[in-house]
Structures are given as structure tokens and as C-alpha cells.
Amino acid sequence: MAFQLLQKDPGTQARLGRYETAHGTIETPVFMPVGTQATVKAMRPDELKAMGASIILGNTYHLFLRPGHRLIEELGGLHRFMNWQGPILTDSGGYQVFSLAKMCKLSESGVVFQSHLDGSSHLLSPELAIEIQEALGSDIMMVLDECLPYPSTHETVAKSLGLTVDWARRCLEAKRRDDNSLFAIVQGGVFHDLRRECAERLLELESKPSADGRPRTFDGIAVGGLSVGEPMELAYDTVGDLAPRLPETRPRYLMGVGMPQDIVTCIGLGIDMFDCVVPTRSARHGLLFTPKGRLYIKRAEFLRDSRPIDENCPCYTCKNYSRAYLRHLSLSKEVLSAVLNTIHNLHYFLNLLTQARLAIRAGDYAGFQRRFFSEYQTGETRVPQP
């Protein structure tokens, strides 16, 4: 498992990199489609590969509850189970501390979850988080962390920091496999001093050998706890201060931030990896992405519109279907609506990252940003909730 920094953009902090994993190479910056329950909703693995997806996500918490990590291990691991042969990153379950806050309780031992499936209680410890991810066969594992909501006080975030760092230490000590990576997660809310402190304390863990004498190293550094309700200007400010302080020779992953304008901005701040449910969730609700902004396909104005979503888009959906037909499918709640809309949205996001990599390679990422924002209008349409 190795990351190679290939090039830095002269006018921004944007970086071009390559990350080698046991299941393939990842060119960065990269967008990772989310497959929470061992599937990217409405998509076949061969379709994802054909449109250029190089890595996808699974979720430790959900796969632990159903169908169970030991069953997946028995059946050959997550790659074979879901028939995806490329790299897989698995979240540790830390985000569920935020999203399922009313159903969990934290202690030094870990997180006690009340299952959203049957109400049963489960303790997810740092050690179990690693055990689950190693059983799944993840290429990139995440440490267990505490993700706080916004706003949280400086005192609350500072207290949480100790828990996150200690859990990261225990994850490092629990790691047994050598054929996968482990990423640390920097927390600290929107407080620059706490973000810097967390990063420093996480890296200090590497100077101490594990109990069995093995060296301990984080293969990448993630920035967690953003896009949890704060204004994005605050998130940009936080990332802009932190990213240059992270190790240059390791990939930097901004967790859960995935609107196009956020991705384009944060690549310029030095981030390499992104994930978000926005393209797939939006597709299921009729919200489509184009270079000019977002398009809500259910609007009456598209009743007789024979044009594709985007006349310049080469995706399967745009080459074969009209806005009028896609509107009909969405209003009729047809399964095909989610399929065709998801194909287009994921193609848009993956192509956006391809164009970003080309711009960095050409040494003109600042120009790419200017061109993107001169055309893209975020509008007022909100991403619908499931």
C-alpha cells in the first residue's frame, strides 16, 4: 500500500497523486461513490467500472448489523460478496455516532448502539471496528472516532478530542493485517487550534511501538466532522488551515463533503479524496447535476422537453433519453428512474474529478476553478432527504 505524490499545482494547493492498493490503483484527486450496504444504489458494479469509478465505500456499522461481517468473511470477503474487484474503503461507524445520536451512547470503551433494525444493543469498540473491517477485507480502513454536530462548544470539542485520539491508538494496536491501510481521522470542529492539536497527537502515536513491538503508522489522514451543519465557508476555512499541516506524502481524505462546488474548492485547498451520497440520493429524488448547476427533473417545464439532461454529456442516459421521459419516470416512481438518474449523476461527478486531474497535470487548476464557477450555479434547490 503506497501513495505517490506526482505533482503539485503551481497556483493552488491542488495535488495529483497515485495510491496503490491490493485491488488496484487510485488516481487522486478522486470521488468515491458510496455503497453503504455493499451496493451503490441502482448501479451494477460493471456499470461503475465502465464509467470510471476506481474505489467505492462500504459501511462498517450497517454491514456489521446485516448480514454480519463473519458471514461476509465466510463467503470470501466484501469484494467477492458484492462482485466489486476494485479498492473498497470502509467507514468505521464513527459517522453513525452523529447520524444516529439518539440511538447510541458513548463511553471510553466505545459506542453502544441500539440497532435501527430490531432495537438490539451492540458495543462497537475500536478493536471491534478493526476486526469487522479486516473481516470484510477492506483496502482502506478508518479508525473509530466521535463526530460531533455543529455547533459544539470549544470545551465540548476539546473533551471529545481525547476520546478520538485514544480510540485511534487502540485501532492502531488492534490492526493485524498487512494487506490493507488504516487512516486516522482528524476531528476538532471548526476550531483551528483543536484541529492542529488533534493532527499532532495522532501523528505522535506513530512514534510509539505497539504492545508487540511492531511499528505503527497511519497510511492516510482523513478530515472528519465537517458538513454536519456548519456554513461551508467555515468548512473551507478549516480545511484551508489544516491541509497544509498534514503529511505531504500521505493521501488526505475529506469525509462526507461532496457537492460539486465543495469538491472543486477543497481540491484547491489540498484534499485528495472525497465521498458523498449526494449524487445517488439526489438521483432517486429527481435532482440532476450539470455543468450549469442542478436540474430538478420533476418540474412541469420539462413535460415536452425532448433534450437530454446535458447535451454535451456522453453518459448512457443522456445519449438515449429525453428530459420529458425522465420526468415521466420520476413522477411515476418507476425503478428505472433511479437507475438512469444515478448513471448520469455519477458520470457527472466522476468526470468532474477527471477534469480536475487533467487541470492539475496541466498546471492550471486555478483556471479550472474559475471556469467551473463562471458556469456552475448552485441555485436554491436543496438536496432532498430520503
Q: How would you write 101-117 as a 3-class SS string?
A: HHHEEECCCCEEEECCC
- Name the nearest CA neighbour of 61 among 38, 32, 94, 31: 94
Tell me, yes or no, whether 27 and 144 share the same domain: yes
Question: Does 330 lie in the same domain as 243?
Answer: no
Instruction: Assess whether 242 and 347 both reside in one domain.
Output: no
Residue type, 13: Q
380 within domain boundaries:
no
295-318: pLDDT as tens digits: 999 999 999 999 999 999 999 999
Q: What is the pLDDT of residues 227-260, one digit of tens each?
A: 999 999 999 999 999 999 999 999 999 999 999 9
Residue 386 lies inside a defined structural domain of this protein = no
Catalytic member of 9, 91, 219, 310: 91
Question: Average pLDDT over the chain, rounded to whole?
Answer: 94
The answer to whether residues 186 and 83 belong to one domain is yes
Residue 381 has pLDDT above 80, yes or no: no
- For residue 142, is pLDDT > 80? yes
Residue 80 lies in a domain: yes
Answer with the one of 276, 307, 338 that is the final residue of a domain: 276
Structural domain of 137: 2-276
Claim to verify: residue 260 and residue 335 sit in the same structural domain: no
204 falls within a domain: yes
Q: For residues 54-71, give the mean pLDDT.
A: 96
How many angstroms separate the CA atoms of 168 and 378, rounded? Answer: 37
Please indicate, yes or no, if residue 355 is contained in any of the structural domains: yes
- 382 band by pLDDT with thresholds 50, 70 and 90: very low
Say if residue 227 is in the same domain as residue 307.
no
Active site residue 91: yes
Min mean pLDDT across 101-110, 167-176, 187-196, 223-232 is at 101-110
What is the count of structural domains for the chain?
2
pLDDT for residue 385 is more than 50 = no
Which pLDDT does position 380 carry in this prediction? Answer: 45
Catalytic residue among 219, 262, 275, 310: 275
SS3 of residue 72 by DSSP:
helix
Closest to 345 measured CA to CA, from 51, 37, 58: 51
Q: Is residue 44 part of a domain?
A: yes
319-325 average pLDDT score: 98
Same domain flag for 269 and 297: no
**Same domain for 200 and 69:** yes
Residue 236 lies in a domain: yes
290 and 272 housed in the same domain: no
Q: What are 111's strand-pairing partners? A: 106, 124
Q: Which of 289, 293, 265, 263 is nearest to 276 (CA)?
A: 263
- Which residue carries 457537492 as its cell? 259
Work out the pLDDT band at 104, boundaries 50, 70, 90: confident
For the CA atoms of 338, 273, 133, 131, the dihedral, rounded to the nearest 10 degrees, stands at: -150
Q: Where are the alpha helices (DSSP H) in the chain?
A: 45-50, 60-65, 69-74, 78-82, 94-99, 126-136, 154-174, 192-204, 232-242, 260-267, 278-284, 316-320, 323-331, 335-361, 365-375
Pair 310, 340 in one domain: yes
- What was the pLDDT predicted at 379? 60
> Does 318 map to a domain?
yes
Q: Is the pLDDT of residue 386 over 50?
A: no
CATH number at residue 234: 3.20.20.105
Greater model confidence, 124 or 209: 124
> Which residue among 261, 276, 291 closes a domain?
276
Could you tell me if 188 and 208 lie in one domain?
Answer: yes
Domain final residue, candidates 276, 300, 327: 276
Question: What per-residue confidence (pLDDT) applies to 99?
Answer: 81
244 plus 328 within the same structural domain: no
Q: Which of 147, 141, 173, 125 is nearest to 59 (CA)?
A: 141
**Digit-coded pLDDT (tens) for 1-16:** 799 999 999 999 999 9
- Cα-Cα end-to-end distance for the chain: 36
